[in-house]
Amino acid sequence: MSSEKTIPNTHPHSLEEEEEEEDDDPPMLSSQAIEALRELLTEQNRTIDTDTGATAVDDVALLTEDWRMSQFWYDRETAETVAREVHALCSSIQSPSVACLACPTLYVYLKKLHPDIPVQLLEYDKRFEKYGSEFTFYDYNEPEELPSKLKHACQIVIADPPYLSKECLDKVAQTISFLAHPEDFHLLLLTGEVQKDRAAELLGLRPCQFRPQHSSKLGNEFRLFTNYDPGMRLGGWEQEQ
C-alpha cells in the first residue's frame, strides 16, 4: 500500500483557498511565550532608544560603544562618583565651566544628575552631535584645533585619552593646557595604571584611591588622577611609597 496521501479530485483552486483560509487565522502564542515577549520588549524599551540606538539614561542618552574608536563606557558607579566630584568642585566656583574630553559617559551622567552645570563634550564620535552646542568635534591628533572660545576657559576638565600610549597622553596634555583656566583649574584624568609616571611628569597628577570600572570588563587596570587634593572624596590621594 502506497504511503502517499490521496488528494481528492476537487476544483483546482480549492487547496489554495483552503490554505488562504488557514493563513487568515492569527498565529497563536502560548501565555508563557506572550509573557516572555512582553518582558523582552519592556527591557528593550527601557534601555534602547529605537530611533538613535542609544542607551537611555533618564532624559539623556549614551550611544552604544564603538570599539573601533576605542570606546569603553564607565559603569554607573564610576560615572556617578565622578559626576558628584565635579559637582562638589563646581560648588566652590562662581561661574564654573566644565569640559569632558573624550569621555561621553561622564558628560551624560553630569547632565543627568546636574543639568544646571554647563558642560562641553569634546569628542571624535560625531554621533554625539545630537547634543548641539554642547558638542565640539575633537581629534587628539590635532590637540589645539578647537574653537577659540574654549582657550583657557575651563576651570574643570575631565579627560579620558582614547589610547594607553605615551603619544596619545602627550597630545591630550596639550589639549588640557589649551583648555585650562590660568588661575583656577581642576583636572581629573581617567586612564590606565601604566600611565601613572607619565601623568605625574606631564601634568603633576597623583592617583586617587577610587578605582574606575567599565561596563565592559577590561584587562587594563584604570586609575583616576587629579591635580588637586580631593580630601576624603574619591578615597583621597593614594599614599606615596
Instruction: Give 119-177 pLDDT, tens digit per residue.
Output: 999 999 998 898 999 999 999 999 999 999 999 999 999 999 999 999 999 999 999 99
Q: Which residue has the higher pLDDT, 65 or 172?
A: 172
- Collect all residues with Cβ–Cβ distance below 8 Å to 41 and sequence separation of at least 6: none
Output the CA–CA distances (angstroms, integers) from residue 138 to 20, 74, 123, 194, 223, in the order listed: 59, 20, 5, 24, 23
Q: How would you class 20 by CB atoms within 10 Å of its CB: exposed for 0-12, middle for 13-18, buried for 19 or more?
A: exposed
Percent of the chain with pLDDT over 90: 60
Read off the pTM.
Answer: 0.73
Q: Which residue has the higher pLDDT, 89 or 94?
A: 89
CA distance 200 to 114: 30
Inter-axis angle of helices 104-113 and 76-90, nearest 10: 60
Q: Which domains does the chain have, with CATH numbers?
A: 58-235 (3.40.50.150)
Instruction: Give 163-220 pLDDT, tens digit per residue.
Output: 999 999 999 999 999 999 999 999 999 999 999 999 999 999 999 999 999 887 766 8
